[in-house]
Chains A and B, each alone.
Chain A
Amino acid sequence: MVASEPAIALTGVSKLYGGRPVLDSVDLAIAPGSFVALVGSSGSGKTTLLKTINRLVEPEAGHVAVEGSDVRGLPPAALRRRIGYVLQAIGLFPHLTIAENIWIVPRLTGAPGAERDARVAELLRMVALPGDVGRRYPASLSGGQAQRVGFARALAARPAIVLMDEPFGALDPVTRDELGRAYRALHDQLGLTSVMVTHDMTEALLLADRILVLDGGRIVADARPAEIARGHSDARVRALVEVSTRQAARLADLVAGR
């Protein structure tokens, strides 16, 4: 098999906040079509890493390339319109209807307005929302519905790459499981490259096909979920995984009546 060009490549990326490194010379290549989870505790640098990809954060050193080209060669706004982005805060614009919210990136790129209604309807179907939601305002939606709209907005301009910053963080457990699986299905169906930041190892293990564990601005583990789950050489990684496996074992015992 021919090694294809990485969708996202970081070389020696460092970022300082107040003299303290939050990213310490990170090297990383993400293959097209992969679903990568960035896991770590608060302050590990996972969100900063995600934001260097679409220039929401500018690193002090190193290079970031998206689909082969250095991101510094592109105006930040143009770069971000090419990449889907989902926020923990959801961040729907409260003064715009759902349809206007979903259509915001095509509007910014000057897509013909005539295509709007059909595309919005298609996206609402993709995220399993009824078509009449488009006319409503964000305030009338539940948290889960709003984040479905958040996903639809991220996908509206048909990006190849989607970045997610704790996308399920604000949702209740049932909704986050449902929405996580729904997005994983879209990822496969649309052939996306997805990068998701989460502090929840279980979520990462169940959704991603590659897990990066960050600590102190460095990647301390980079492996498939099964390898991570079976036990890793790094104690910090094992500690993160153990919480999930111990809970799973206890649940399995409960179910089996032991």
Chain B
Amino acid sequence: MGEALAELPALVRAHLGLSVAAVAIAVVAGLPLALWAVRARRLRGPLLAAIGLVQTIPALALLALFYPLLLALGRVTALPIPALGFWPALIALALYALLPIVRNGVAAIEGVDRGAIEAADAVGMTRAQRLRLVELPLGAPVILAGIRTATIWTIGAATLATTVGQPCLGNLIFSGLQTENWVRVLVGCAAAAVLALGADLLLGAIEAGIAQRSRWRLWGGSGLLAVGLIFALLPGPSRPAVVVGAKNFSEQYILASVIRQKLEEAEFHTDQRDDLGSAVAYRALAAGEIDVYVDYTGTLWANVLGRRDNPPPARMRAMLAAALAQRDGVHLFGPLGFENAYALAMRRDRAAALGIRTLDDLAHAAPHLRLASDLEFLSRPEWRAVAAAYGLRFADQRSYSPTFMYRAIVDGSADVLSAFSSDGRIAALDLVTLADPRGALPNYDAVLLLSPKAARDPKLVAALRPLVGSIPIDRMRAANLLVDRDRDKKSPAEAARWLVGR
């Protein structure tokens, strides 16, 4: 609780800053669009349809879409366009906020009393004067209602910005969800709700102030809103920081925290980008948007190099190091000392009852067994390799988010799961990993990766060197369990302190 609260002010600021900027852009772009749609009647249908179409794209997908889009744009234009973090989040949210602003804008201008419009023309107002003196003031409550709707949507949708590496209240929600730390989830949700309600209340007061010509409400609401904006937009403690990346599971949060602790001991300022997808994390590193993160050799081998073969661990690592350095200037610093490989695991009692110890044994029993996998596993080459090598066919295969995958094996709705070898729950839930006598599963040594820039900083390299080879598998499993277990949960930062502080 305390830790989630400590992170809160910075996240609220980032969240508000992002939301305000997105709504501001949507207002600046949306009001002229609305006026245009009022004048050009033939264009109104297509315009509103196009904006409405954006709304039908799930917010998460819209955010994700801008990453490759900005990346491609940066490549085509050769400009340093940041594809991760603030910008893709900002553009996606601004697009999202456009609909209520444009729609209400059109309704506001069209809804102005015909008598007032006729009078405006008859007394000799030009078109611009009519807009400024009559249509905008009279349409203001409806326009503001649109901005209000957009603001509430945006504050809600901004929680998703964490998935493209932009700090926001979603950090608490997503990391809390991954580590089953419900306090973090609740703190994140409650903070987002309070922000949305607060914004709604203030904009509502301003709206009523305009509609009822109550200066007290208008200025009161505007004043408080301005205070909130100043809080959000004042530059925070800004300084050059080493940005540590993390994918979206407990081990990654812990290791990111370990790296930050090491760097801060060496007096670096650090920052963290959470919840990055596998492909996003590597490309962000290559582009210098993050400086350091932990990835796994098998993942890089298959996803980044696109290789299907399965050389022995040391050879794979050497080939990776050469290829990544040559292609992207990324420095594969060294293995941390443990492997987080895919393995197939079963409950110990069930495996014993069926006499299963290896994947060969499993292949015989598989047609009567159910497989629970994580969301990626069934579409990965490892699964195809192991299924082909052993001729595995299950009665049923289902994908779960990692947390629920373990639930499925505990409650008996699945017999076999795609486990990660460093997962603390393997020991905690009394699972056994099945041996791979044919060597079909590639290895997944955890390795530190440095961005081209970070690799050229000798002080940074020196600060991280002690981590190489320092984390054996049992320590990592134990640290993961501290975070993943149901009772007496630790935060990733606490687990990281436990891991390095022994």
Taken together as a complex, chains A and B put the C-alpha atoms of A81 and B125 apart, in Å, by 8
| Nearest-Cβ distance from residue A93 to partner chain B, whole angstroms | 6
Q: From B6-14, B83-91, B113-121, B397-405, give the one contacting chain A.
A: B113-121
Taken together as a complex, chains A and B put the C-alpha atoms of A93 and B112 apart, in Å, by 10
| Nearest-Cβ distance from residue A133 to partner chain B, whole angstroms | 17
Question: Quick check: is A228 within 8 A (CB to CB) of the other chain?
Answer: no
Q: Please indicate the chain A residues that have their CB under 8 angstroms from the CB of B134 in the complex.
A: 93
Question: Quick check: is A63 within 8 A (CB to CB) of the other chain?
Answer: no
Taken together as a complex, chains A and B put the C-alpha atoms of A82 and B122 apart, in Å, by 11
In the bound complex, do residue B124 and residue A91 qualify as a contact, i.e. CB atoms below 8 Å apart?
Answer: no
Question: Quick check: is B138 within 8 A (CB to CB) of the other chain?
Answer: yes
In the bound complex, do residue A91 and residue B118 qualify as a contact, i.e. CB atoms below 8 Å apart?
Answer: yes
| Nearest-Cβ distance from residue A193 to partner chain B, whole angstroms | 17
- Contacts of A75-119 to chain B: CB distance below 8 A: 76-82, 85, 87, 89-95, 104-105, 108
Taken together as a complex, chains A and B put the C-alpha atoms of A91 and B113 apart, in Å, by 8
- Contacts of A141-157 to chain B: CB distance below 8 A: 153
In the bound complex, do residue A95 and residue B119 qualify as a contact, i.e. CB atoms below 8 Å apart?
Answer: no
* Contact bitstring A39-58, B, C-beta under 8 A = 1, else 0: 00000000000000010100
**Known contacts A56-B121, A104-B123, A91 near B129 by CB under 8 Å:** no
Q: Interface size of A by Cβ–Cβ distance < 8 Å?
A: 23
In the bound complex, do residue A92 and residue B121 qualify as a contact, i.e. CB atoms below 8 Å apart?
Answer: no
In the bound complex, do residue B213 and residue A91 qualify as a contact, i.e. CB atoms below 8 Å apart?
Answer: no
In the bound complex, do residue A81 and residue B124 qualify as a contact, i.e. CB atoms below 8 Å apart?
Answer: yes
Chain B's closest residue to A165 (CB) is B122
Chain B's closest residue to A163 (CB) is B122
Q: Please indicate the chain B residues that have their CB under 8 angstroms from the CB of A82 in the complex.
A: 124
| Nearest-Cβ distance from residue B207 to partner chain A, whole angstroms | 14
Most chain-A Cβ atoms within 10 A of its Cβ — which of B118, B119, B125, B213? Answer: B119
In the bound complex, do residue A89 and residue B124 qualify as a contact, i.e. CB atoms below 8 Å apart?
Answer: no
| Nearest-Cβ distance from residue B121 to partner chain A, whole angstroms | 6
In the bound complex, do residue B114 and residue A81 qualify as a contact, i.e. CB atoms below 8 Å apart?
Answer: no
Question: Quick check: is A183 within 8 A (CB to CB) of the other chain?
Answer: no
Size range of the chain B interface in the assembly: 10 to 19
**Known contacts A95-B213, A137-B213, A85 near B138 by CB under 8 Å:** no
* Contact bitstring A172-195, B, C-beta under 8 A = 1, else 0: 000000000000000000000000
In the bound complex, do residue A108 and residue B124 qualify as a contact, i.e. CB atoms below 8 Å apart?
Answer: yes
Taken together as a complex, chains A and B put the C-alpha atoms of A85 and B125 apart, in Å, by 13
Q: Please indicate the chain A residues that have their CB under 8 angstroms from the CB of B126 in the complex.
A: 77
Taken together as a complex, chains A and B put the C-alpha atoms of A61 and B168 apart, in Å, by 66
In the bound complex, do residue A93 and residue B116 qualify as a contact, i.e. CB atoms below 8 Å apart?
Answer: yes
Chain B's closest residue to A97 (CB) is B213
Chain A's closest residue to B115 (CB) is A89
**Known contacts A94-B113, A137-B213, A89 near B125 by CB under 8 Å:** no
Question: Quick check: is B156 within 8 A (CB to CB) of the other chain?
Answer: no
In the bound complex, do residue A87 and residue B137 qualify as a contact, i.e. CB atoms below 8 Å apart?
Answer: no
Most chain-A Cβ atoms within 10 A of its Cβ — which of B118, B121, B124, B129? Answer: B124
| Nearest-Cβ distance from residue A73 to partner chain B, whole angstroms | 16
| Nearest-Cβ distance from residue A87 to partner chain B, whole angstroms | 6
**Known contacts A93-B134, A95-B138, A137-B213, A108 near B115 by CB under 8 Å:** no
In the bound complex, do residue A108 and residue B125 qualify as a contact, i.e. CB atoms below 8 Å apart?
Answer: yes
Q: Please indicate the chain B residues that have their CB under 8 angstroms from the CB of A93 in the complex.
A: 116, 119-120, 133-134, 138
Chain B's closest residue to A153 (CB) is B123
Q: Please indicate the chain A residues that have their CB under 8 angstroms from the CB of B121 in the complex.
A: 56, 80
**Known contacts A95-B137, A95-B138, A137-B213, A105 near B119 by CB under 8 Å:** no
| Nearest-Cβ distance from residue B120 to partner chain A, whole angstroms | 8
Chain B's closest residue to A85 (CB) is B122
Q: Please indicate the chain B residues that have their CB under 8 angstroms from the CB of A54 in the complex.
A: 122
In the bound complex, do residue A89 and residue B123 qualify as a contact, i.e. CB atoms below 8 Å apart?
Answer: no
Across the interface, B119 reaches (CB within 8 A) one of A78, A81, A89, namely A89
In the bound complex, do residue B115 and residue A85 qualify as a contact, i.e. CB atoms below 8 Å apart?
Answer: no
In the bound complex, do residue B123 and residue A94 qualify as a contact, i.e. CB atoms below 8 Å apart?
Answer: no
Chain B's closest residue to A89 (CB) is B115
Chain A's closest residue to B113 (CB) is A94
Q: Please indicate the chain B residues that have their CB under 8 angstroms from the CB of A137 in the complex.
A: 213
* Contact bitstring B184-222, A, C-beta under 8 A = 1, else 0: 000000000000000000000000000001000000000
Q: Please indicate the chain A residues that have their CB under 8 angstroms from the CB of B138 in the complex.
A: 93-95
In the bound complex, do residue B125 and residue A91 qualify as a contact, i.e. CB atoms below 8 Å apart?
Answer: no
Taken together as a complex, chains A and B put the C-alpha atoms of A85 and B126 apart, in Å, by 16
In the bound complex, do residue B122 and residue A87 qualify as a contact, i.e. CB atoms below 8 Å apart?
Answer: yes
In the bound complex, do residue B123 and residue A90 qualify as a contact, i.e. CB atoms below 8 Å apart?
Answer: no
| Nearest-Cβ distance from residue A132 to partner chain B, whole angstroms | 18
Across the interface, A80 reaches (CB within 8 A) one of B115, B116, B123, namely B123
Q: Please indicate the chain A residues that have their CB under 8 angstroms from the CB of B133 in the complex.
A: 93, 104
In the bound complex, do residue B113 and residue A80 qualify as a contact, i.e. CB atoms below 8 Å apart?
Answer: no
Q: Please indicate the chain B residues that have their CB under 8 angstroms from the CB of A90 in the complex.
A: 115, 119
Taken together as a complex, chains A and B put the C-alpha atoms of A199 and B120 apart, in Å, by 24
Taken together as a complex, chains A and B put the C-alpha atoms of A73 and B245 apart, in Å, by 70
Taken together as a complex, chains A and B put the C-alpha atoms of A121 and B116 apart, in Å, by 23
List the 7 closest A-B pairs by CB distance, nearest first.
A91-B119, A89-B115, A80-B124, A81-B124, A85-B122, A91-B115, A77-B124
In the assembled complex, 24 residue pairs joining A and B whose CB atoms fall closer than 8 Å, in A order, are A77-B124, A77-B125, A77-B126, A79-B124, A80-B121, A80-B122, A87-B122, A89-B118, A90-B115, A90-B119, A91-B116, A91-B119, A91-B120, A91-B122, A92-B116, A93-B116, A93-B134, A93-B138, A94-B138, A95-B137, A104-B123, A105-B123, A108-B124, A108-B129
- Additional A-B contacts beyond A91-B122, A93-B119, A93-B134 (12; CB < 8 A): A56-B122, A80-B123, A85-B122, A85-B123, A90-B119, A93-B116, A93-B133, A93-B138, A94-B116, A95-B138, A104-B133, A137-B213
Interface residues of A (CB under 8 A from B): 54, 56, 76-82, 85, 87, 89-95, 104-105, 108, 137, 153
